Structure 1
C-alpha cells in the first residue's frame, strides 16, 4: 500500500519512512504543504500522514484542499498541538485520525491498519439516500437537508449524523460512537462528544420545533421523535 508522508522535520520524516517500509508499505515524502498537495492530487495513495505545522501551506488547509478532490482517502494528522480545539479543527478539516507527538510507531501502525481496513469496506452507492422524519442525507453527494433547508456539515459532523441516522431510535453510547465514528482512537475522556453533539443540534434542531437529537443522561445519545 502506498502512503504519503508530509513532514518538514527531516528526522521524523525519515523515521516514518523507515518504519513504514519495514511494515511492507511503500512510503513517499513531501517536506512542505504545497509539495504535499501536489503529490496527493497527482498520485494514488492509500493513506496520507501529515503534520499540521508545515512550511508554505499548513496541514489544516492542506487537508481541506485534498478533501475537495479526494474525499475518501484516509488522513492521519501528526502534531505537537494536542488541545481539544486543535483536534476539532483537524477533524473539521477532514482528518480521520489525530496523533499527538511524541508517539509510538506501534500505535501509528495500529491506526493506519484500522483506517485502511475501514476504507476497504466503503461501498460507493450512487444516489443512496437515508431519511428520518424530515431529515434527509445523500451518502453519495454528501448533501444534508431538513425539510427544504440545506444544512452544511463538516466531515466529522456528517459521519456522526450518518451513524445516528443509520441507527435511529436507539440509544448510542459514547463508547459505541467512539468506535464507529472515530475508529476506536477517540479519547472518550475529553468533551469531544458533547462538542460535536452540540454542533449537530445547532444545525439540525435549532431552526425546527421538532427536535431530533436527544441526550439520555448517563447512557448516550439518540435520534428520536420525542
Structure 2
C-alpha cells in the first residue's frame, strides 16, 4: 500500500531535498508550492523514477484561507512536513503589521489549521508522523530577526503540545531546527559574513539541505518510533 506524505514549500532548497529523500524511501508525495511552477515541474521530473505518485498543489499559505486549497487536495495521508515559510530581516521597530501578519500566517496559523484539517485522515491509518521545519532562531532567538524567531519558536511549542495530544492515536509530532544551511537564503550575505558565521560553527562549515532532509526522514521512520515531542537541532554544534 502506498504511503503518502505532504511536503509544504516543496519547491525551495530544503523542501526539494526533503521531497527527494522521501520519494527515495518509497513515499508518494503531495508537493505544495506557491509561485515556482518551473521548480516543482523539475522536481517531479527528478523523482519520477522512484515510481510513486507525485501531486503538485499550488496554494499561498501566507493568506488566511490558503491552507484550505491544500487540504481540499489531500486524500490518503501518512505524514506531514511543514516546511513552507520565509525569513524576515530588520529591526522590530521597523516591522510593518502586514509583514508580521504574513509571518504568523505562513509559519503558525496555516500549519496549525492545515494539521487540524488532516488529523482525521492521519487517525484512519492509526499511525503517522508530523515534522515541523523550525529554525535555530526558534530555540535561541536572533536580533534583527525578532518576528521570525518568534514564529519559529511558536512552531516548536506547537510540536511539543500536539505530540502529547496525538500520541494515543499513534501519531508522532517532532521538529527539526536547522542552523546555517547552504541555500539561496544565504546568497544575500557577503563572503565576509559567511566566513564569520562559519568561524562560529564548531563543525567549520554550513549545513546542506540534504542533511536537514535526512533528519526529517529519520523522524518519520520507524527508527525514531519512541521519539515524540522533540526538537532535533541540525546546526553543526552552533549556538548550543
TM-score using structure 2 length = 0.40
Q: Considering fraction of residues, name the structure with more helix.
A: 2
Which one has a bigger Cα radius of gyration? 1
Q: Considering fraction of residues, name the structure with more strand.
A: 1
TM-score using structure 1 length = 0.41
The one of the two structures with greater contact order (alpha-carbon pairs below 8 A, sep at least 6) is: 2
